[in-house]
Amino acid sequence: MKTRLAAATAALLFSSAMVAPSQAATIDLSTNGNFTGQPGYFEVNQTFVLPANAINVALNISFLSVDDRAVVQLNGTDVDATGIFANQGSVGQFNFGQNAPTVDYTYNAPFVRNITVTSGFNIGGSNLFALLLNDTNNGIFGTVLPTTANGSYGIAANVTFGRGVTEPATWAMMILGFGAIGGAMRRRPSVAAKVRFA
């Protein structure tokens, strides 16, 4: 009995060791460049797809620099903004298009940041990460966007997520572990005692 119990315990430990936690995944959205010769309104768009079983999804922005100003969007929603020489909470202007009206806009300080966004994702579908740029050669101000600009940009960002459903290979190993438990606990055929009377 003790031997069977020890074998069952070992099989249980084996099966639980085989059920490894799902691994985290990272999508890198970092980019940099310039829009020399482009209009004063310029977009850098990136799309990424999240699997249907994605959990704990987060967009992380650690660096943002631009000449002159930028708004970062996730699926059309503003998640960050900065402008050259901006202090935290600086108010300036932004144009969401070459001929779009000018709107007042509040900017975060440039460069190093620690921004994490945990909502607004399309789980199981396509997502749009957009960097919208203005360049008037006038810092965070200026209402007229030139037809030809010479700005630059740089952003360090990524999306991290886990997977909520166990992978098929893990399920197979878990089933093998339970099979080992069943095999260890299976009873051997009992041997009947023979009694003889003299």
CATH code assigned at 97: 2.60.120
Same domain, yes or no, for 104 and 149? yes
Same domain, yes or no, for 86 and 111? yes
Closest C-alpha to 148, from 32, 41, 33, 65: 41
Contact between 170 and 11 (Cβ < 8 Å): no
pTM, to two decimals: 0.74
Domain membership of residue 193 (yes or no) is no
d(CA 134, CA 105): 12
Domain membership of residue 40 (yes or no) is yes
Collect the ranges in the chain with pLDDT lower than 70: 1-22, 165-171, 174, 178, 180, 183-195, 198
Domain membership of residue 149 (yes or no) is yes
Domain membership of residue 191 (yes or no) is no
- For residue range 25-74, list pLDDT tens digits in order: 999 999 999 988 999 999 999 999 999 999 999 999 999 999 999 999 99
Q: Give the total number of structural domains in the chain.
A: 2
Domain of 89?
Answer: 25-163
Question: Is residue 105 exposed (0-12), middle (13-18) or buried (19+ Cβ within 10 Å)?
Answer: buried
d(CA 42, CA 95): 10
Per-residue pLDDT at 179: 73
